[in-house]
Chains A and B, each alone.
Chain A
Amino acid sequence: MSTAVHLDEITKRFSGVVANDDVDLTVERGTVHALLGENGAGKTTLMNILYGLYEPTEGTVHVDGEPRDFDSPADAIDAGIGMIHQHFMLVDPMTVAENIVLGNEPRKWFGTTVDRERARQEVIDLSNRYGFDVNPDDAIEDVSVGVQQRVEILKALYRGADILILDEPTAVLTPQEVEELFRVFEELTAQGKTIIFISHKLGEAMHAADDITVLRNGKNVGTVKADETSNEELAELMVGREVLLEPKAEPQEPGDEVLAVQHLSAEDNRGIPAVSDVSFDIREGEVFGIAGVDGNGQSQLVEAITGLRTPTEGSISYKGGDITDASRRSRIADGMAYIPEDRHERGLVMDFDLVQNGILGSQHSPTFAADGRINWSDARDHAERIIDEYDVRPPHADADAESFSGGNQQKFIVGREFEREPDLVVATHPTRGVDIGAMEFIHERLLDLRAEGKAVLLISSKLDEVQGLSDRLGVMHDGELMDIVDPRNTTEEEIGLLMAGERPNAAETDAEPPVGDAK
């Protein structure tokens, strides 16, 4: 086995901040190598250096045993390296074949015209060789995200890539699509290609990779063989201490109904129906989870519940009263906490410091603003309390929200919302972007709220998270609530099928009442 990539003592600094610190990395030809680490560990930076997007401050890149000095991705592509970013760079109205050859089109008539027929044939040959299931004539906008990803991989292969780098390739996929992707990995490595993929999910790395390199704070803290390690060992490497991986919800009898959603429909910003006829309820001391691939109406459903979107049909009742038309402000005042999906757009005012952000949503509440005048010293105490309890770092209440890392911003939002003493917590991706340590803490706090008899609506695209925390789990696909299942007695595969829009046994599902208690 020969070495495909060798990174030799790579250090990368951005204006004083060390992103990669003396990292060595060796990837063998024909293997799948996972680069594992928390957000901010320096994985993407390291791969951008390999792909020529950045020059290392110190250290050398070796490809196929040769030291290389890439000035731009073009050099890296010439050296046989291809990178598939998280956000695909495809032209939506063009066909699969056109996208694959874009920039390197076969030409005819002395290079004056694109030879579409040959392009199409070359794409067919290429996808056959690697066993890809893509139709060259489909428009990108008509195919699924999983297929788009395969088109990106084909694009890299078409340009002659031997080494493929994938940045968090599973983030946008359903469990089935993830399986499909890993099969593609096997096919590619069988034909001698080398794959490096970035991930922060332990299970994926264990499942798909041959070797796993763990980065922490920009340093390589260890390279291990996937079949000689365990989830626990990897988690400890990533975090630097022992971690409780599985959130455990103790069984508990739910109380009165807190939220009831009845036949709710809503449109997205373009006026296209995004939520259709969704009904469910949540009771005190209960976590109701919603699983689904991002973009299947969860955002619009949550916005309708929290008062940021007017539903087109249906009703929402909260603590016994109808709130379908209630304002956002009255819902906040009525004890509805909301961890929003997009912390940069909604959750925080980026140019405000944490003192000001700490009262976002409470700016009219008697706690902070009696008689319309804000008590800034109370607001400061409040912000400092959140910073302290939720371990927001650095602990500077006077720093602008913008200056904090994503994980710390998220911790601050979670703290602010939990400290509202809510009756209902709507938590959208509550652990998005936070490290494993903070994730564990947020999970514990969610379960504490549940134990205190609060109702929790949990939306996450991390299946293990919703599955582990929820008492009941609704699965959304294409705006519909496919089914409400008992997460403890349902397998990941069954949920995955529902996420993909397939009802396994329709007869049984139809027999269930729309507002069901699956217990």
Chain B
Amino acid sequence: MSAAENAKAVLRRLTAASATERILISFAALIMAVLVGAVIILVSGRITTCQTAATTLFGTGFCYDPVEVYLVLFNGALGEPFLVNSPGILKPLNPNWNPLNFGFALTLKETTLLIFTGLSVAVSFRAGLFNIGTQGQLILGGLATALFSFFVAPLLPSGLVGGLILIPLAIVVGALVGGLYGAIPGALKAYADANEVITTIMLNFIAAQIAFVLVSEFYGNPDSQVVETTPIPDWATLLPVAFPQGGDFSILALAFGLALVVAVWFLLEQTSFGYDLRTSGEQPEAAEYGGVDAKRTTVTSMFLSGALGGMGGAIWVLMVMGKWQAGVPALGFDGITVSILAGNNPFGVVPAALLFGTLKSGSLAVQFGTGVPKQLVGVLRGLIILFVAMPEFFRMLGSTIDLEPDRETVATDGGRLGGDDE
């Protein structure tokens, strides 16, 4: 067998992997990433100079201890359930550990935000549309939410009642604006055959600049030096419930995100619209044959994807910032990786987002808790994401390209493609 055929055989196997196998593959990839990362930590620890070696292997001193780094990473993300600094391989439980801690709140904050953007990307990918524009949809959706809340808040009674009215409305406004901004590349694709990858990327820049101009010139906070809106009153934001130390995380937002996961699954798998959307994504010609209106489905799917991105922006504003501020984090772009990691499955988005959240919050713990520079922590994070995402990425690739071993010889089933039957 040639190398190409070998590669095809591997891809075929990967494409055919069952759900259990995929989970096992992801775990194996995680372990591989940790092992490779450990080598990099050791090598960096050899190159750099330090007073005392963090660990000594085979009589050689290293400045960083990979075991410690990874323990701190995962331990930190959970708010230190184990006492990492105690000696021995098995670390004792931390008696003072409370699940509702700051580190874990950071993890969940990131997870929550990425659930929204991950879902946004997953919906478009399932429809066969490569929406790279979740970031732009999130920026504008977030801005709309911030401005809406700021202008409508004075008209409502402050406190719980006002919050109950204003917060859902503000999220709806964010979703609408994000959705409409997503529908633009959808319409361009449907009616002008413009490639959505290009248009969504370009619209990301446009969104960022529009938002910047609007805030810096018209709706900015006059009392602030940075480009940001005037803060929304506290009663109109999603306050940290249950997590006394804060960490900009609201369990309500997470619950809403999880509800959306179920809703998106229901829409995709149980409804006629979802059937149209998935068929368009899998095989546009068959969708056309089955009476799916390709143009309408494209625009609707992009609207939906944009709305989910816009909601992500709304949550970012209401839960994290309490205002809109220039320099929005790249949650939309991370959403692409989350979605790929999840195999574009709405339920898969939750663990994928959790992995991202864990790494993000754990990195902070590593930066503060060990001498490892943050750039190196970034490398370790990137390795894990790369390793875990690659099998899924190749699965996606494998399902889009033709993997038949050799059509001429598949004669046992008569299923050769093409017009060979006459």
- Chain A positions near chain B (C-beta within 8 angstroms): 14, 17-19, 38-45, 48, 53-54, 85-87, 168, 171-172, 200, 218, 294, 308, 327-329, 331-333, 338, 340, 342, 344-352, 356, 359-361, 363-364, 369, 372-374, 376, 404-409, 429, 432-433, 435, 461-462
Known interface pairs A340-B289, A363-B275; A48-B412 also in contact (CB < 8 Å): no
Residue in B275, B282, B283 with the greatest tally of chain A CB atoms within 10 Å? B275
Is the CB–CB distance between B412 and A14 below 8 Å? yes
What 0/1 pattern do residues 248 to 290 of B give for CB contact below 8 A with A? 0000000000000000000000111101100100110111111
Cβ distance A19 to chain B, nearest Cβ, rounded Å:
5
Is the CB–CB distance between A346 and B282 below 8 Å? no
The stretch of B48-56, B144-152, B414-422 in contact with A is B414-422
The stretch of B155-163, B303-311, B403-411 in contact with A is B403-411
Chain A residues lying within 8 Å of B405, measured Cβ to Cβ, are 14
19 chain-A/chain-B pairs, Cβ below 8 angstroms: A17-B413, A39-B414, A40-B413, A42-B411, A45-B409, A53-B409, A171-B420, A332-B290, A338-B289, A342-B285, A344-B417, A347-B286, A349-B287, A361-B289, A369-B272, A372-B273, A374-B270, A404-B413, A409-B415
Is the CB–CB distance between A38 and B414 below 8 Å? yes
Interface residue from A18, A331, A349 paired with B282 (Cβ < 8 Å): A349
Residue in B282, B413, B416 with the greatest tally of chain A CB atoms within 10 Å? B413
Main secondary structure of the interface of B (DSSP, over half): loop
Interface residue from B283, B291, B420, B422 paired with A349 (Cβ < 8 Å): B283
Is the CB–CB distance between B414 and A40 below 8 Å? yes
Chain B residue at smallest Cβ distance from A342: B285
Chain B residue at smallest Cβ distance from A39: B414
Is the CB–CB distance between A168 and B420 below 8 Å? yes
Residue B293 is within 8 A (CB to CB) of chain A in the complex: yes
Residue B399 is within 8 A (CB to CB) of chain A in the complex: yes
In whole angstroms, what is the CA distance A39 to B422 when docked? 10
In whole angstroms, what is the CA distance A90 to B12 when docked? 31
Is the CB–CB distance between B289 and A372 below 8 Å? no
Chain A residues lying within 8 Å of B276, measured Cβ to Cβ, are 363
Chain B residues lying within 8 Å of A342, measured Cβ to Cβ, are 285
Known interface pairs A327-B293, A328-B291, A360-B279; A373-B411 also in contact (CB < 8 Å): no
Is the CB–CB distance between A405 and B408 below 8 Å? no
Chain B residues lying within 8 Å of A17, measured Cβ to Cβ, are 412-413
Chain A residues lying within 8 Å of B412, measured Cβ to Cβ, are 14, 17-19, 40, 42, 45, 218
Interface residue from A87, A172, A331, A407 paired with B414 (Cβ < 8 Å): A407
Cβ distance A499 to chain B, nearest Cβ, rounded Å:
14
Cβ distance B409 to chain A, nearest Cβ, rounded Å:
5
In whole angstroms, what is the CA distance A408 to B421 when docked? 13
Chain A residue at smallest Cβ distance from B276: A363
16 additional contacts, CB 8 Å, given A308-B288, A308-B289, A373-B272? A38-B414, A39-B414, A39-B416, A40-B413, A329-B292, A340-B289, A342-B285, A345-B283, A346-B288, A346-B289, A349-B287, A351-B399, A359-B275, A363-B291, A374-B275, A461-B422
In whole angstroms, what is the CA distance A350 to B409 when docked? 20
Is the CB–CB distance between A348 and B286 below 8 Å? yes
Known interface pairs A361-B289, A363-B275; A433-B421 also in contact (CB < 8 Å): yes
Chain B residues lying within 8 Å of A363, measured Cβ to Cβ, are 272, 275-276, 279, 290-292
Known interface pairs A346-B286, A359-B275; A48-B415 also in contact (CB < 8 Å): no
Is the CB–CB distance between B282 and A352 below 8 Å? yes
Is the CB–CB distance between A345 and B420 below 8 Å? no
In whole angstroms, what is the CA distance A19 to B405 when docked? 14
Interface residue from A327, A364, A405, A408 paired with B272 (Cβ < 8 Å): A364
In order of increasing CB-CB distance, the 4 nearest A-B pairs are A40-B414, A39-B414, A329-B291, A405-B413
Is the CB–CB distance between B411 and A40 below 8 Å? yes
In whole angstroms, what is the CA distance A172 to B419 when docked? 9
In whole angstroms, what is the CA distance A361 to B272 when docked? 11
Chain B residues lying within 8 Å of A376, measured Cβ to Cβ, are 270
Is the CB–CB distance between B272 and A406 below 8 Å? no
Chain A residues lying within 8 Å of B414, measured Cβ to Cβ, are 38-41, 405-407, 433, 435
Chain A residues lying within 8 Å of B291, measured Cβ to Cβ, are 327-329, 331-333, 361, 363-364
Is the CB–CB distance between A406 and B416 below 8 Å? yes
Is the CB–CB distance between B409 and A171 below 8 Å? no
Cβ distance B74 to chain A, nearest Cβ, rounded Å:
36
Known interface pairs A168-B422, A361-B291, A432-B422; A40-B415 also in contact (CB < 8 Å): yes
Chain B residues lying within 8 Å of A87, measured Cβ to Cβ, are 418
In whole angstroms, what is the CA distance A328 to B279 when docked? 15
Chain B residues lying within 8 Å of A406, measured Cβ to Cβ, are 413-417, 421
Chain A residues lying within 8 Å of B422, measured Cβ to Cβ, are 168, 171-172, 294, 429, 432, 461-462
Chain A residues lying within 8 Å of B288, measured Cβ to Cβ, are 308, 328, 346
